[in-house]
Amino acid sequence: MFPAIRVSRADLANDLKSGGRSTTAARSQARMRNGLVAVEIALSVMLLIASGLLLRSFLLLYQVRTGVRLDHTLTMNVNAPFASYREPAQRVALLNEINERLRNVPGVKSVGLTSCPPVSGACNILFYYVDGRPFVLGKVLTAMERSVDLSYFTAAGIPLLRGRTFTERDGIGPDVNDPKLGSILISESMAKTVFPGEDPIGKQIFFDFEVQRGRIQAVPVPRYQIIGVVGDVLAALDAQPSPTLYRPLLDVANAGATVFMHTAVDPKSVIRPAQDEIHRIGSTLAINRVQTMDELLSVSVAGRQFNMTLFASFAAMALLLTAIGLYRLVSHTVSQRKGEIGIRMALGATRAGINKMVMLQGLKPAIAGVFIGVVAGAFAVRILQSQLFGVTPADPATFVIVPIVLLIVATLACVLPAVRATRLDPTVALRAE
């Protein structure tokens, strides 16, 4: 639109004066063109910085140690209709049978069941109290809760750091009216947070929701003894280790669970046999979310991956448009300055001098655009802070690499027009002028 508006307001007398023989383009036009290219380059720098930060975050995210086995692992959700499994004993029997049948599937090394798969968010948060400690108003103890069966820690590759894991005598099924002393395991972060400098083994806790139920139903409040400490497992790739407690799945007696299978073969090859075994238990059992741990991780970072891809795509297009724009600017300048270049060469200017002159013509707006883009990008990328992991919005590596890349692209865009300018025949250039 700018050229159209300018032409409609043209001053014929001045334009004829500025367009005389062997003159260059009007300075105002050149400044406008250079300014537009500088702005284009600045926007490209901002997009490249944003995509660079997101890319670095994404790569660092995949280097995080989750605390759980990722290779040769298959997960699937199995749920039973509550109408068919009303009694806790029925649900306990179902969970035991699922584990037993899947252990016999060819290629399966170990099987574990859990109420909530790892690296999939905080499925359940419980309020609890430490038995023997006075209640402090305003200080509430919380922990992520996962219910698991006896073989889950082996299947998931979660290390035992202290004490022991669950045995058959721990998961005996719930009894509201006559609760026995239960068993729980806690994560390393929970041991450090709640029992600093103490041995947590043997300590007892009880849950707030069972305290409330006891008041309403007039039933005893069960206690749970800590029998072991296991390694931390992240709730998400970008999360810090959080206090986590594990209860026996059979004590909870859910009507379903997430199956965690460690295989000796490609985990996808056991999907069909595993599904067949589950359906032999009951045709009404629902199976969903069948995925390997690699796929589960991909789902957990899908939002970040989309943002990174989006920014990278726009940055790549902006970089391409910048290169084209700068190339066209320098080419247009060379074509307008043919007469001047011919006179310089006729008066003894060297090809190296002509090349330097043309290159500087293109690199000046490029350098200005890079500077503006870096300054503006330092402020703009702060809105991406929630999407970054392991890097800061002012990451030095990104702010060094991006300008270098832009200047290399700008130099390459200027090279071809500069070479063409050095090959001009002074006689032909002057005759054309």
Contacts of 20 (CB under 8 A, 6+ apart): none
Residue 200 lies in a domain: yes
User: Is residue 276 one of the residues assigned to a domain?
Assistant: yes
**More confident: 399 or 342:** 399
Please tell me whether residue 161 adopts helix, strand or coil conformation.
strand
Per the CB < 8 A criterion, the answer to whether 155 and 260 are in contact is yes
| Average of per-residue pLDDT across 369-387 | 87
| SS3 state at 270 | helix
Q: What local confidence, expressed as pLDDT, does residue 247 receive?
A: 92
155 falls within a domain? yes
Domain assignment present for residue 3? The answer is: no
Mark which of 247, 269, 300 sits at the end of a domain: 300
The model's pLDDT over 78-137, given as tens digits with 9 standing for 90+, comes to 988 877 787 878 888 888 899 999 999 999 999 999 988 888 777 788 999 999 888 777
Record the tokens describing residue 411, joined without a space. Answer: 């130099």
Under a CB-based contact definition with an 8 Å cutoff, are residues 220 and 214 in contact? yes
For residues 126 and 116, give the distance between their C-alpha atoms in angstroms, rounded to a whole number. 14
Phi, psi of 283 (to 5 degrees): -70, -15
What's the pLDDT tens digit per position in 192-251?
A: 999 998 999 999 999 988 888 888 988 888 889 999 999 999 888 778 888 999 999 888
Residues 313 and 284 in one domain: no
Q: Are residues 311 and 284 in the same domain?
A: no
- Say yes or no: 295 and 316 in one domain: no
Query: Is 290 found in the same domain as 410?
Result: no
Burial of 168 (0-12, 13-18, 19+ CB in 10 A): exposed
380 pLDDT above the threshold of 80: yes
> Residue 272: pLDDT above 90?
yes
Indicate whether 337 and 226 sit together in one domain.
no
Dihedrals phi, psi of 126, to nearest 5 degrees: -115, 140
* CA separation for the pair 160, 105 (Å, rounded): 26
What local confidence, expressed as pLDDT, does residue 229 receive? 95
Alpha carbon distance 320, 21 (integer Å): 35
Quick one: 129 exposed, middle or buried, by C-beta within 10 A (0-12, 13-18, 19+)?
middle
Does 349 reside within a domain?
yes
| 293 and 395 share one domain | no
Burial class for 215, CB neighbours closer than 10 Å (0-12, 13-18, 19+): exposed
Chain-centroid distance, C-alpha 322:
28
Distance (Å, rounded) from C-alpha 99 to C-alpha 261? 10
Domain boundary among 272, 300, 328: 300
Pair of tokens at residue 291: 């995925």
Residue 350 burial by Cβ neighbours in a 10 Å radius (0-12, 13-18, 19+): exposed
Q: Are residues 270 and 350 in the same domain?
A: no
Whether residue 239 sits in one domain with residue 99: yes
CA proximity to 412, closest of 318, 317, 323? 323
Structure tokens at 232: 């931390």
Task: Domain count for the chain, please give it.
Answer: 2
Question: Rounded CA gap, 410 and 362, in Å?
Answer: 8
Asked if the structure places residue 5 within a domain, the reply is: no
Residues 6+ apart with CB under 8 A from 40: 318, 321, 322, 325, 369
Residue 41, token pair as written in the block: 């380059």
Q: How far apart are CA 263 and CA 112, in angstroms?
A: 12
In a domain, residue 293? The reply is yes
And the tokens for 47?
A: 């997009």
Write out pLDDT tens, residues 289-348: 899 988 888 877 778 888 888 888 888 888 888 888 888 888 877 777 777 777 777 777
Query: Of 300, 322, 339, which residue sits at a domain end?
Result: 300
Higher confidence at residue 225 or residue 22?
A: 225
The domain of 270 spans 73-300
Give me the pLDDT at residue 173, please: 60
